[in-house]
Amino acid sequence: MKTKNNGQPFATLAPTLGALCLLAACTVGPDYERPSVPVPTIFKEAGQEGKVIQAALTAAPRADGWRPANPQEAGLEPWWSVFNDPVLDGLMRQVEVSNQTLKASEAAYRQAQALVEESRASFFPTLSISGAGQRTGPVGSGRTSSTRTSSSSVGARTIYDASLDASWAPDVWGRIRRTVESDEAAVQASAADLAAARLSAQAQLASAYVQLRIADERKKLLEASIAAFRRSLEIAQNRHAAGTATLADVFTAETQVRSTESQLIALGVQRAQFEHAIAVLIGKPPADFALVPEPLRTAIPAVPPGIPSALLERRPDIAAAERQMAQTNALIGVAESAYYPDILINGSISNTAAIIPKLFQAPTALWAFGAQIAETLFDGGARDAVVKLRRASFDQSVALYRQTVLTAFQEVEDQLAAQRILAQQATVQADAVRLAREAERLTLNQYRAGTLPYTSVLTAQTATLSDEENALAVQQSRLLAAVSLLQALGGRM
């Protein structure tokens, strides 16, 4: 819109705008640098075979030691496929779609994205338009009367106003840039939290599924034991009828049957709870979900851990902790920008007319353009306190990041040790089961021949059942250790 002085005020303020643009290149506060963390070259508990694999991986060239994690990849790789169970595969697909915890984490991620968009909007000016209409005149001028006096001959009139206002706070000290930097880091941390929630839900489902199938195997074991104990009861009853055994043998044998039947009934509680947990994890009411008993087809998988530095690339909790450091570091700059003056540039164009078309005619319009600066001279140390708070928050996030890394290494080492030691225990326990079954067979034959009392049979059968249950418990522990190891490795094979 043209003015009579050909925009002279704009020309006068041009140097000021240029200076502001140069100052806008400044950004106060420390630039973020990722702190170092201790990273071992190999995992201590990987075993000899694992160490050979890791040595080969370590020898491969790497560009910069390690790269930042891509947390959105965590949990997307079908790591559970190492168990080779199609039922488990189908359940895992439902977790991504229906798990309510994941939906909440995904909503939190979208909230963080919206905050970034809100922060970026501060880079741009704010424009607003307003309009008003007002009708004024003497009291009674709006009425039609033949007796109106000359003093009220001036009738009512309508006045219209319109204005266009603009304001802009240039990011001279980098406050907005640091805010956007902080919010972007928060988005990345939220993405890592989403990946961690996905991986946690998958691991919980795999653990519950393994325990449910072990419960099915234990049910089969107890049913087989009950059948064997009933055969022993028949032998005791026949020998008592023949006068070669006491009634106490019959009662002892029957007690063993009933006691094992009680264990079988109690097992139903555990299985039901695991089934209910699986239903909730896949987003279904427990009443609408059931898994029929099936044989345990899951073999113990071999999980190579890779090299420790790779753990920093794929653990979503490590990625979240690292991004939280970047977020708190940027907030230091936001706090330090409060030491510098606030600058605001504003302008407006307004017009007043008796009819609406004249509002858009330049000759009657007025413009205004200016800038203001404000600086806090004394605040009792409030700004200093905020800066100290932000720096302490950053130091805290660094400590939490390093602790997260150390905990991650510990979790991998724990599960590697569990896998190695439990494999040794499984071998020994298998021998114990074999020997217990042989001892039970020999003892029962000697009882039939009348050379041993029934208490010896009871002891042998109880020992066999105990050893078989221990073998199942070791198998369960090995499977759960494999699940935990895969989770500790970030859900990446």
Asked, for residue 147, whether it belongs to a domain, the answer is: no
pLDDT the model gives residue 154:
59
The predicted structure's pLDDT at residue 50: 55
89 within some domain = yes
Structure confidence at residue 404 as a pLDDT band (50, 70, 90): very high
**Any idea what the CATH number is for the domain that residue 78 is in?**
1.20.1600.10
In a domain, 78, yes or no: yes
How long a stretch of residues is the chain?
493
The whole-angstrom separation of Cα 47 and Cα 35 is 31
pLDDT of 267: 95
- Judge whether 399 lies within some domain: yes
Is 2 within the bounds of a domain?
A: no
Q: Which residue has the higher pLDDT, 365 or 86?
A: 86
Structure token digits, residue 209: 């599924």
Mean pLDDT on 203-211: 96
Residue 135 has φ and ψ, to the nearest 5°, of: -110, 125
Q: Which domain holds residue 227?
A: 28-124+173-340+383-488
H/E stretch holding 186 reads helix 175-241
Mean pLDDT comparison of 66-70, 304-308, 324-328, 367-371, highest-scoring range: 324-328
Q: Is residue 129 part of a domain?
A: no
Q: Of 66-70, 319-323, 386-390, where does mean pLDDT reach its minimum?
A: 66-70
The pLDDT value given to residue 76 = 62
Q: Does residue 46 belong to any structural domain of this protein? A: yes
3-state DSSP: the chain helix, strand, coil percent, rounded to 5?
A: 65, 10, 25
What's the pLDDT score for residue 305? 81
pLDDT higher than threshold 70 for residue 340: yes
How many Å apart are CA 339 and CA 173, to the nearest integer? Answer: 10
pLDDT of 218 reads: 96
Q: What is the pLDDT of residue 73?
A: 54
Check residue 3 and give its pLDDT.
41
pLDDT at 57 over 50: no
pLDDT tens-digit readout, 406-458? 999 999 999 999 999 999 999 999 999 999 999 999 999 999 998 999 999 99
**Domain count within the chain:** 1
Region 350-368: mean pLDDT is 77
State mean pLDDT over 344-355.
85
Estimate to the nearest angstrom the gap between the alpha carbon of 154 and the chain centroid.
74
Q: What is the pLDDT of residue 38?
A: 85
Q: State the pLDDT at residue 7.
A: 44
Decide if 178 is inside a domain.
yes
What integer is the mean pLDDT of 223-236?
94
Question: Higher model confidence: residue 361 or residue 217?
Answer: 217
